[in-house]
Amino acid sequence: MTDRERINELRDTLNRHNYNYYVLNKPQISDKEFDMLLKELERLEAMYPDMADPLSPTQRVGSDLTKGFESVEHVYPMLSLANTYSIADVDEWIHRVREGLGGEKFRIIGEMKFDGTSISLIYEHGRLVRAVTRGDGVRGDVVTANIKTIRSIPLQLQGSGWPEMFEIRGEVLMPWKEFDRLNREREFNEEPLFANPRNAASGTLKTQDPREVARRGLDAYFYYLLGENLPYDNHYDNMMAARSWGFKVPEIMDPLDSIEAVDAFIDYWDEHRRELPVATDGLVFKVNSLRQQLNLGYTAKSPRWAIAYKFQAENALTKLRFVSFEVGRTGVVTPVANLEPVLLSGTIVKRATLHNEDQIHLLDIHEHDSLYVEKGGEIIPKITGVEESQREPDARPIEFVSHCPACGTPLVRIEGEAAWVCPNRYGCPPQIAGRIEHFVGRKMMNIDGIGAETSGALFRAGLVHDIADLYDLTPERLMTLEGFGQKSAEKVMAGLEASKKVPFDRVVYALSIPFVGDTVAGKLAKAFPDIDRLMTASEAELAAVPDIGPRIAAAVIEYFADPINRRVVERLRAAGLQMAMPDEAPGERTDLLGGKTFVISGTFALHSREQYKELIEKNGGKNTGSISRKTDYVLAGENMGPAKLEKATALGIPIISEQDFLAMIGQ
What are the residue numbers of the active site? 113
Rg (alpha carbons) of the chain, rounded to whole number: 28
Report which DSSP code applies to 191.
P
Torsion angle, alpha carbons of 221, 347, 437, 431, to 10? 110
Report d(CA 232, CA 239) in Å as an integer.
9
Using DSSP bridges, classify how beta strands 633-636 and 655-656 pair: parallel, antiparallel or unpaired.
Answer: parallel
Spatial neighbors of 398 by CB under 8 A, at least 6 apart, are 323, 335, 360, 365, 366, 367
Spatial neighbors of 659 by CB under 8 A, at least 6 apart, are 606
Report d(CA 275, CA 566) in Å as an integer.
52
What's the start-to-end Cα distance of the chain, in Å?
71
Helix (H) or strand (E) holding 37: helix 31-47
Please tell me whether residue 34 adopts helix, strand or coil conformation: helix
Spatial neighbors of 225 by CB under 8 A, at least 6 apart, are 166, 167, 168, 169, 235, 238, 239, 241, 242
329-346 in b/e form (b: 16+ CB < 10 A) is bbbbbbbebebeebebbe
* Helix 563-575 × helix 550-561 angle, to 10°: 80
Backbone phi, psi, residue 357, to 5°? -60, -40
Report which DSSP code applies to 398.
P
Spatial neighbors of 430 by CB under 8 A, at least 6 apart, are 326, 327, 328, 329, 406
Report d(CA 325, CA 513) in Å as an integer.
23
* Helix 3-18 × helix 31-47 angle, to 10°: 140
Going from the C-alpha of 444 to that of each of 331, 441, 463, 464, 507, the distances in angstroms are: 20, 5, 21, 18, 7
* DSSP conformation letters of 350-363: EEEE--SHHHHHHH
Of 342, 386, 341, the C-alpha closest to 360 is: 386
Spatial neighbors of 641 by CB under 8 A, at least 6 apart, are 70, 142, 601, 602
Please report the sign of the dihedral spanned by the C-alpha atoms of residue 388, residue 390, residue 396, residue 398: negative
Report d(CA 175, CA 197) in Å as an integer.
7
Going from the C-alpha of 296 to that of each of 90, 95, 96, 104, 290, the distances in angstroms are: 16, 13, 10, 12, 10
| Side chain identity at residue 535, one-letter code | M
| CA 459 to the chain's CA centroid | 34
* Polymer length in residues for the chain: 667
Report d(CA 634, CA 643) in Å as an integer.
13
